[in-house]
Amino acid sequence: MEENKPVFSIITVCYCARDIIAKTAHSVLSQTYPNIEYIVVDGASPDNTAEVVRSLSSDIRLISEPDKGLYDAMNKGLRMAMGDYVWFLNAGDLLPSDDLVEAIANGIKSSPMGLPDVLYGDTMLIDATGKEKGLRRLRPPFELQWRSFADGMLVCHQAFIAKRLIAPPYNMKYRFSADFDWCIRILQAARNIVNTEMILVHSLDDRGGITYKNHKASLKERFLIMKHYYGSRKSIMKHLSFFFRHKR
């Protein structure tokens, strides 16, 4: 680690990810930026995911034990993190280039307001081979605030980097959409939000993911979250548009 440079804690939560975790880890470990803490939280996978991670590098901070679900595991990662920033990267996702984190750090070092509270950017979807499928349909706004998420999760969770000191635990009452709630709470606390104007993640377009498989339950949770932050009337109108947009 080098002094006077922000530390990025990158966290991957996984279960039975033996076949995809190595690519994700390599994209982190190959970064040219020196101040990166990489944490992998494995849910005691029976497919030897933990052994694969251990074989990659002794620099990876690994915990492998049963958990109470995705967001419990993510909270474990948050508690382990010691960096200035926390950044979640799913198993199967990739950092787009080896100098990405260095470019982010260089872009914020001269900020007169000090370290930004939130850094965000765009998301490129990829298939299992790493081939680009196109940018995520919901695009990040040029300027982001907590009210922006009334239009949906405009910034992908993996393209949302938060200062650790303002990042709360995930609310465990939400099974599928706690990341949506988490981002809103962070944006409410943030005073300095910076658009990196970069693609921050190559995100695996996993149609078997937990939120995709439980789409209706996820929409219900998102409605409750939106109602809490934005009020009933606005949330009903927005949620109806989400429902018909995604109806299969």
**Residue with structure tokens 């465990």?**
172
Which pLDDT tens digit goes with each residue over 138-167? 999 999 999 999 988 999 999 999 999 999
What mean pLDDT value characterizes the chain? 92
pLDDT tens per residue, range 193-239: 999 999 999 999 976 555 556 777 888 898 899 999 998 766 666 66
- With beta carbons less than 8 A apart as the criterion, state whether 39 and 80 touch: yes
Burial class (CB in 10 A: 0-12, 13-18, 19+), 142: exposed
The 3-state DSSP class for residue 165 equals helix
* Segment 81-115, tens digit of pLDDT: 999 999 999 999 999 999 999 999 999 876 667 89
CA–CA gap between residue 4 and residue 84 (Å, rounded): 11
**Is residue 43 a contact partner of residue 66, using CB atoms and an 8 Å limit?**
yes
Count CB neighbours of 167 within 10 A.
21
> Which residue's entry shows tokens 């990267």?
89
33-57 pLDDT per residue, tens: 999 999 999 999 999 999 999 999 9
Prediction pTM value: 0.91
Give me 196's structure tokens: 């990196």
**206 C-beta neighbours (distance < 10 Å), count:** 18
Residues 6+ apart with CB under 8 A from 154: 138, 139, 140, 141, 144, 148
Task: Give all domains of the chain, ordered by start, each with its CATH number.
Answer: 8-207 (3.90.550.10)
The mean per-residue pLDDT over the stretch 29-33 comes to 98
What CA–CA distances, in Å, run from 127 to 54, 122, 162, 175?
Answer: 26, 17, 27, 25
Q: Is the dihedral of CA 233, 169, 123, 126 positive or negative?
A: negative
